[in-house]
Chains A and B, each alone.
Chain A
Amino acid sequence: MIIDQHAPIDGSGEVIPAHGLSRRDFLRAGAAAGGGLVLSVSLPFGNGEAEDAFVPNALIRIGGDGQIVLTMPYVEMGQGTYTSIPMLIAEELEVDLKQIRLEHAPPNEKVYINPLLGEQATGNSNAMRGAWQPLRQAGATAKTMLVAAAAKKWNVDPASCRAQNAEILHDATGRKIGYGAVAADAARMPVPDKVALKPPQDFRLIGRPLKRLDTPAKVNGTAVFGIDARPPGVKIATLAQSPAFGGRVKSVDDTAAKAVKGVRQIVRLDDAVAVVADHMGAAKKGLAALVIEWDDGPNAKLNTDDIASVLEKATLTPGAVAQNIGDVEKALAGAQTKVEATYQLPFLAHAAMEPMNCTVHVRRDACEVWVGSQAIARVQKSAAKATGLPLDKVVVHNHLLGGGFGRRLEVDGVIRAVEIAKHVDGPVKVVWTREEDIQHDMYRPHWFDRLSGGLDEKGRPVAWDNRFAGSSVIARYIPAAFNKGLDPDTTEGAIDLAYKLPNMRVQYVRVEPPGIPTAFWRSVGPSHNVFVTESFMDELAAAAKQDPVAFRSALMTESPRAKAVLELAAQKAGWGQPLPERTGRGVSFQFVFGTYMAQIAEVEVATSGAVRVRRVVCAVDCGTAINPDTVQAQIQSGIIFGTTAALYGEITLKNGRVEQTNFDSYQMLRIDEAPSIEVHIVPSSEPPGGMGETGTSAIVPAIANAIFAATGKRLRKMPVDVAMLKQSP
């Protein structure tokens, strides 16, 4: 398979009006302009609500030359989508993965834009969940129509034909014909009302650990990320944005900067200054030579503690009720034992390895953008708005992403690049330094949570009351999905637990902190809620003097899949077996993104307080594991990502400025600190759950609970506080 990173912007939109409309409203078939069969598919995003109108966002095109092209809205950012998505079509279409060519969906064709979110976006671990049924059905539909066309040509019963390896065969007469030769005829065949999907035992591809298709270019330097775009004549710019969010440029002395060899131009914006140069070396040197005076604006005195105290107070006021089972207050009043705790999670930066960047060429009547984005339609819209051009005059080239993690769902970097490019003659690539990338991220929200729990005389939990405060990213990003003070992401992992709790109440108080923008961050809502839920569950088990695994398992009477993964993880980890002093095991369980997962972390705490995560055992039931090797890789990845957050992750503000700057002050886990990771996948033929984020949310409480087991000290505020864990003499 070829991955075409520069798909034609309008070459794929050549769908001639649908020939027949399938009864299922996610699929249509038609003829391609060049002769061939086109299936347009409407893949659900987000919460999968039904749409009124048919708006396709993926196209499968089988050309007269037999070439199969899939144009799809999901992006590759390391999670393996470019392999797993084509697997679904190839499985039913009876072709090899290598026979499918993949193109990024261009943003400026109306057909690709999904009205549900108002855009096409890859996030919230929903690509495979959304594509699972429709893409297999699309593949089966195309195959059925191709077979029908061949059968008609041969004047035989379609049932006497079969498809194999991109050919239709008629065994009785030994005839065979390639897909390309009947593609144009197939487009005139009626769309079948329904098609049978293969039973799991017949899968050739799904469930097999297939090699990823995007990898070879990534080991020899030829893969093209957004930062590698080099349109002819491109200049390189780097920038300084107001150190305090909301501040402005007061004055700039650019005399020395202009004297730097290779510096071409200084662009002054209201709240940022950019240096445009022949290369990044000159741009950085020029930036360092600028003398900028800032007006720090309304957030000049803002510190993280101020935000934390606002959030803490907010948890003393009633919130929007996300879930309410039984009568919590009555149950708490009657409980034998009461447990109370508050938790805090810090702001976090994304710190994708590819620093933020965007290349833009603004002409009088058009604008061209080169970027790696999780939300390409949003890129186009924001560039149109920033230039004042109509949408169809903005062309966006999407690229591979050097890490997304939620950062590249945002378009602040695109808007910034357009603002700069408007002052530059010719294309300009705006590359953020790592310092700018960390200090002008949009951050995982800071959270404050207040919990009360009650146990009966047998130590069984009879009350669970959780009230938390923080930012709703959804309310800003998809305002329509924020209703009555709640949204589906902010509460995921806090409600609808796999545990049977007779009296449970969860309330959310939305507080948007001033002076610091917030955004989705890998594992989104669960990155916060799973930590709190699983920490407090551990506290209840300790208060009940019960084993943390047994305590959880006893609450899973109505969720056999949950119980199975928990017990599998415990068994594989050797739960209960003795460990050295100051070493402990901690457990976490979650059911989020449609996937059941249990993790057991084995942690060693040195007398200095330094924490080492030695080993992590993970059991997962993600339904059908489409590509088990990718499932394993994503769990390994998520665990490392979450371990970084647990041990080191914290963004703090002082006088309105982010204090962390680069990988020295915002540390990442390194290979010598990485735990061994074992992944055990529960075989299943249920629909697939999400995998890109699950590992991250599950590991943080597992580590905190392991530290408790090792030291008796409960971490209620992340990241790990080494001073607190130091052994007192």
Chain B
Amino acid sequence: MAFAIKVNGNTHNVDADGDTPLLWILRDVLGMTGTKFGCGMALCGACTVHINGEPTRSCITPIDSIGTSEVTTIEAIGKTTAGAKIQKAWLDREVVQCGYCQSGQIMSAAALLASKPHPTDSDINDAMSGNICRCGTYVRIREAIKLAASN
């Protein structure tokens, strides 16, 4: 099946089975490797993208469900106000270690900040507990979200 999907403002024509997860279209077909594979079952959040601004696990999102929705990935999240604030806070607070999960962490955090400019600890738990970090950067992720919210 041929699909036209809009990613970061650009329309791409792709030919794949309709049940193909968006993750593989992004990474293997379009070559946008910033979005990561972690589990394939929406258990870890590494593959998080935004679909019409909503944080979404691309590893279980079939390509035929996207339609005309706008997909935003880590490569373009810095163009949004919330995304840019989160990226800056991530650097200022030195959150990152191995960095593999951080695309997904940043996408979840950017969506949180866009919807709740001043998130509470409980908001942070709700928005971020779907994202696993094996390096254990959680303490700094929490601090960085609060830092971004205060800027």
Interface residue ranges, A against B (CB under 8 Å): 77-80, 211-212, 214-225, 227-228, 230, 236, 260-262, 278-282, 284-285, 351-355, 400-405, 431, 433-434, 629, 633, 636-641, 644, 662-664, 668-672, 674, 676-677
Q: Distance in Å from the Cβ of B64 to the closest Cβ of chain A?
A: 12
CB within 8 Å of A: which of B66-91?
73-75, 77-78, 87, 90-91
Given contacts A216-B91, A280-B24, A434-B41, is CB(A221)–CB(B99) below 8 Å? no
Residues in chain B near residue A261, CB distance under 8 A: 16-17
A282-B94 contact, Cβ under 8 Å, with A220-B74, A662-B41? no
Complex contact B135–A215 (CB within 8 A): no
How far does the alpha carbon of A390 sit from the alpha carbon of B66 in the complex, in Å?
Answer: 49
Q: Please, how many angstroms separate the alpha-carbon atoms of A669 and B132 in the complex?
A: 8
Instruction: Check if B17 sits within 8 Å of A285, measured CB to CB.
Output: yes
A434 to B96, CA, bound (A): 22
The listed residue with most A CB atoms (<10 A of its CB), out of B31, B46, B96, is B96
Asked if residues B40 and A284 are in contact (CB atoms below 8 Å), the reply is yes
**Bound Cα distance A228, B17 (Å):** 23
Binary per-residue interface labels of chain B (129-147) against chain A in the complex, 1 for a CB within 8 Å, 0 otherwise: 1111111111111100000
Q: Given the complex of chains A and B, what is the CA–CA distance between A218 and B106 in angstroms?
A: 10
- By DSSP majority rule, is chain B's interface helix, strand, loop, or mixed? loop
Complex: A220 Cα to B32 Cα, angstroms: 11
- Bound CA span A639–B35, Å: 27
B28, B99, B100: the one within 8 Å of A215 (CB): B99
Kindly list the 5 A-B residue pairs having the minimum CB-CB distance in the complex, ordered from nearest.
A221-B34, A640-B136, A402-B100, A78-B98, A218-B99
| Inter-chain contact B34/A640, CB cutoff 8 Å | no
Bound together, the chains give a CA A178 to CA B28 distance in angstroms of 46
Is the beta-carbon distance between B94 and A212 smaller than 8 angstroms?
A: yes
Instruction: Choose among A215, A281, A355, A641 the residue that contacts B91 (Cβ–Cβ < 8 A).
Output: A215
0 or 1 for each of B21-38: is its CB under 8 Å from A? (1 = yes):
101110111011111111
For the complex, what is the distance from the CA of A80 to the CA of B101, rounded to whole Å? 16
Q: Contacts A281-B28, A434-B38, A671-B124: A662 and B139 contacting too (C-beta < 8 A)?
A: no
B128 at the interface (CB under 8 A from A): yes
B residues in contact with A211, CB < 8 Å: 91, 94
A230→B31 contact, CB < 8 A: yes
Q: Which residues in A have their C-beta under 8 angstroms from that of B11? A: none
Contact call B16/A281, Cβ cutoff below 8 A: yes
What A residues does B34 contact at CB under 8 A? Answer: 220-222
> Which of A214, A219, A281 is close to B90, meaning CB atoms less than 8 Å apart?
A219
The residues of B that contact A221 with a CB separation of less than 8 Å are 32-35, 73-75, 103
Partner of B21, one of A281, A434, A640: A281
Contact of B137 among A402, A405, A636 (CB under 8 A): A636
Residue in B closest to A433 when the chains form the complex, CB atoms = B40
Taken together as a complex, chains A and B put the C-alpha atoms of A220 and B38 apart, in Å, by 18
Q: Does B65 contact A (CB under 8 A)?
A: no
How many Å lie between the Cα of A212 and that of B93 in the bound state?
Answer: 11
Chain B residues positioned under 8 Å from A228 (CB to CB): 27, 33
Is there an interface contact between A215 and B94, defined as CB atoms closer than 8 Å? Answer: yes
Q: Does B115 sit at the interface, judged by CB under 8 A?
A: no
Cα of A672 to Cα of B45 in the assembled complex, Å: 15
Bound-state Cα–Cα, A180 to B83, Å: 41
Q: Which of B44, B128, B140 contacts A663 (CB 8 A)?
A: B44
Report whether B125 and A672 are in contact in the complex, using a CB–CB cutoff of 8 Å: yes
CB of B129 within 8 A of CB of A671, answer yes
- A665, closest chain B residue (CB): B43
Given A79-B97, A222-B34, A236:B139 Cβ within 8 A:
no
From B99, which residue of chain A is reached at the shortest CB distance?
Answer: A218
Number of residues of chain B lying within 8 A (CB) of chain A: 60
Query: Is there a chain A Cβ closer than 8 Å to B56's Cβ?
Result: no
Q: List 30 A-B contacts (CB under 8 A).
A: A78-B96, A78-B135, A211-B94, A214-B99, A215-B94, A218-B96, A219-B106, A220-B77, A221-B35, A225-B99, A227-B33, A227-B37, A228-B33, A279-B16, A280-B37, A282-B20, A285-B19, A353-B44, A355-B37, A403-B100, A404-B98, A633-B97, A636-B139, A639-B136, A640-B133, A640-B138, A641-B136, A670-B132, A670-B138, A677-B139
Determine the chain A residues whose CB is within 8 A of the CB of B77 once the complex forms.
220
Residues of B near A80 (CB, < 8 A) are 97
Contact A636 B98 (CB under 8 A): no
Partner of A400, one of B38, B99, B129, B140: B99
Identify whether the interface residues of A are mostly helix, strand, loop, or mixed: loop
> Closest approach, in angstroms, between the C-beta of B106 and any C-beta of chain A?
6
Residues on B facing A (Cβ under 8 Å): 16-17, 19-21, 23-25, 27-29, 31-41, 43-44, 46, 73-75, 77-78, 87, 90-91, 94, 96-103, 106, 124-125, 128-142
Residues of A within 8 A of B23 (CB): 280-281
* Cα distance A640–B132 in the bound complex, in angstroms: 11
Query: How many angstroms from the CA of A671 to the CA of B146 in the assembled complex?
Result: 14
Chain B residues near A220 (CB-CB < 8 A): 34, 74-75, 77-78, 87
- Note all chain B residues with C-beta closer than 8 A to A281: 16-17, 20-21, 23-25, 28
Residues from chain A with a CB closer than 8 A to the CB of B35 are 221
Contacts of A77 in B (CB 8 A): 98
Q: In the complex, how many angstroms separate the beta carbon of B137 from the nearest chain A beta carbon? A: 7
Find A402's partner among B27, B31, B99, B125 (CB 8 Å cutoff).
Answer: B99
- Interchain CB contact (< 8 A) of A262 among B16, B100, B106, B138: B16
Interface-central residue, A261, A403, A664, A671, by most chain B CB under 10 Å? A671
Rounded to whole angstroms, the CA-CA distance of A278 and B78 in the bound complex is 30
Query: B125 — which chain A residues lie within 8 A by C-beta?
Result: 671-672
- CA separation between A633 and B135, bound complex, in Å? 9
| Distance of A278 Cα from B20 Cα, bound (Å) | 12
Residues of B near A629 (CB, < 8 A) are 94
Residues on the A chain within 8 Å of B78, using CB: 220
A670, B130: Cα distance in complex, Å = 8
Q: Which residue of B lies closest to A674 (CB)?
A: B138
How many angstroms from the CA of A348 to the CA of B112 in the assembled complex?
Answer: 34
* Given known contacts A221-B35, A676-B139, A351 and B25 CB-to-CB distance under 8 angstroms: no
For B28, what are the chain A residues with a Cβ–Cβ distance below 8 Å? 236, 278-281
Q: Which residue of A lies closest to B30 (CB)?
A: A279
CA of A405 to CA of B20 in the docked complex: distance in angstroms? Answer: 32
- Closest A residue, CB atoms, query B22: A281
Known: A401-B98, A670-B129. A663 touches B87 (CB 8 A): no
Given contacts A221-B33, A221-B103, A633-B137, 17 further A-B contacts (CB under 8 A): A211-B91, A218-B96, A219-B90, A221-B35, A221-B74, A279-B20, A279-B28, A282-B16, A402-B36, A402-B98, A403-B100, A637-B97, A641-B136, A662-B41, A671-B128, A671-B133, A672-B125
Q: Are B75 and A637 in contact (CB under 8 A)?
A: no
- Which A residues lie within 8 Å of B103 (CB)? 221
Find out whether the CB atom of B136 lies under 8 angstroms from the CB atom of A215.
no
Measured between alpha carbons, how far is A434 from B16 in the docked complex, in Å?
23
Q: Is the CB of A671 within 8 A of B131?
A: yes
Closest chain B residue to A214, Cβ basis? B99
CB proximity of B120 to chain A, nearest CB, Å = 12
Q: Nearest A residue to B39 by beta-carbon distance?
A: A434
Are A352 and B96 also in contact (CB < 8 A) when A261-B17, A262-B16, A280-B27 are?
no
Could you tell me the distance between the alpha carbons of A212 and B125 in the complex, rounded to whole angstroms? 27
Contact of A219 (CB < 8 Å), options: B91, B133, B139: B91
Q: How far is the CB of B49 from chain A (nearest CB, A)?
A: 11
A353 and B38 form a contact (CB under 8 A): yes
Q: Which of A221, A261, A284, A663 has the most CB of B within 10 A?
A: A221
**B-side contacts of A639, CB under 8 Å:** 136
In the complex, what residues of A have CB within 8 A of residue B25's CB?
A: 279, 281
Q: A402–B101 Cα gap in the complex (Å)?
A: 8
Min distance, Cβ A372 to any Cβ of chain B, angstroms: 9
